[in-house]
A = this chain, B = another copy of it.
Amino acid sequence: MKQSELFSKTQRSFPKNEESVNAQLLLRAGYVEKLMAGVYSYLPLGLLVLRNIERIVREEMNALGAVEVLLPSLHPKENWQTTGRWKTMDDLYKLKDRGGREFALAGTHEEVIVPLLKKFVSSYKDLPLAVYQIQNKFRDELRAKSGLLRGREFLMKDLYSFHANENDMLQYYEKVKVAYRNIFSRVGLKAIETEASGGTFSDFSHEYQVLTEAGEDEIIYCAGGDYAANAEISQAKEGKQCDLGHGPLKKAKSIEVGNIFPLKDKYSKAFNLSFKDEKGKEHLVQMGCYGIGLGRLLGTIVEVHHDKGGIVWPSEVAPFQIHLLSLSGGEKAAKRAYEELQAKGIEVLFDDREASPGEKLTDADLLGIPLRLVSSEKTASSDSFEVKKRDEEKIELVKKKDLVSYLSRPI
């Protein structure tokens, strides 16, 4: 993709009214644009990152044997009255149509997926089953000051699992933990599995917390990995010695990037989602639900992976793997390289803009693409390119004839 053809330009100045690092960098780099607090538009490069995160999440959900669906955002009031959350969920957006009928805007989807499955689940033979979607959620957040970390509208992956008994549900719950660890690791995050409250969903839950000063949560945890709990519910206090000798428990700010809930029969009871066992006896279905906010994940990646120059994307989520810069005197060689790489099916972002070398190098740091390829007067004269990884200082010279094979290696 040619950068000259991207309408989303980098911005020189820090955006006003944005305190969070993630929003500042994403706005300045032209990845997102703010419509209002907690509501962002994804610009072309930001959408590429979001799609990469989606792909990773989808692959891990499919590997769990979950099937994908797409549920609506506009929900009948009645479904939310059935679970009682029409009144108890403070951040539920409500609206009326012109006939006066009331609706909820999806804050979560138990109120839709459970009645939907009543049509298809009646026997133990229909269980277990797991269904997920990647779809918008809406939440009437009082404070939405953390950029993409706390959205009023945000894309979420929500997985729901349905089981004949609690034991089967808890076994699946453990499998989801593994899938979640895979997802966070692939997007470049170290997430700590943390005991937490269940909110309006369940008795308890597990959260995945990423340590960073930008976090709105606090966790108490053992550096050795023996214990982690949200500070809101932790029985153990900061400074208490870990029983297994890993020293004092620590307290730190963190971002919750995922949350899993053993719902048990809370929602199947509300809608009477039941099944007949081998003997014809009726039981309520046991459920789990499992969420990851994709926008928040993107924001968290930026909070964790940046330096003073800009974003440093982990490879699997980067919008491009290679950023080709055409500096003065190197234009011809850059153009030829771009065409050659395109022809070989190697996608690059090509900075072909009319701009100074300094501006291009600064923008490349801000954009944070893993590998930078520079064509300048100096490199053109030696039939080579400068290659630099975004997160290293070292600059290599690669001969033009070796370029394709060099770039075909894993970065």
Chain A residues in the interface with B (C-beta under 8 A) = 5-9, 33, 35-36, 39-44, 47, 50, 65, 67-76, 90, 93-95, 97-99, 105, 112, 116-117, 119-121, 126, 129, 131, 136, 138, 140, 142, 152-153
Contact = CB atoms under 8 A, between A and B. Distances in A.
A71 B41 contact: yes
Contacts of A73: 73, 136, 138, 153
A103 to B, nearest CB: 8
Contacts of A5: 65, 67
A47 B72 contact: no
A301 B244 CA distance: 64
B153 A72 contact: yes
Contacts of A126: 7
Contact of A119 (B33, B65, B69, B70): B33
A72 B73 CA distance: 13
B69 A41 contact: yes
A231 B74 CA distance: 33
A98 B140 contact: yes
B97 A140 contact: yes
Q: How many copies does the complex hold?
A: 2
A159 to B, nearest CB: 14
Given A9-B120, A67-B6, A41 B72 contact: yes
A41 B116 contact: yes
Contacts of A35: 71-72, 74-76, 112, 116
Contact of A70 (B8, B47, B76): B47
Main secondary structure of the interface of A (DSSP, over half): mixed
22 contacts: A5-B65, A6-B67, A7-B67, A7-B121, A7-B129, A35-B74, A35-B76, A36-B76, A41-B69, A41-B72, A41-B112, A41-B116, A42-B71, A43-B69, A50-B70, A73-B73, A73-B153, A74-B152, A94-B95, A95-B95, A99-B142, A105-B105
A7 B117 contact: yes
Nearest to A120: B7
A98 B105 contact: no
A153 B97 CA distance: 13
Nearest to A43: B69
Contacts of A142: 98-99
Contacts of A117: 7
A122 to B, nearest CB: 10
A218 to B, nearest CB: 25
A138 B73 CA distance: 9
Contacts of A136: 73, 136
A320 to B, nearest CB: 14
A70 B32 CA distance: 9
A323 to B, nearest CB: 18
Nearest to A130: B7
Contacts of A120: 7-9
Nearest to A127: B7
A290 to B, nearest CB: 17
Contact of A7 (B47, B70, B99, B131): B131
Contacts of A140: 97-98
A411 to B, nearest CB: 25
Q: Which of A50, A70, A76, A126: most chain B CB closer than 10 A?
A: A70
The 6 tightest CB contacts between A and B, nearest first, are A95-B95, A42-B70, A44-B67, A74-B153, A39-B72, A41-B71
A90 B98 contact: yes
Contacts of A99: 142
A74 B39 contact: yes
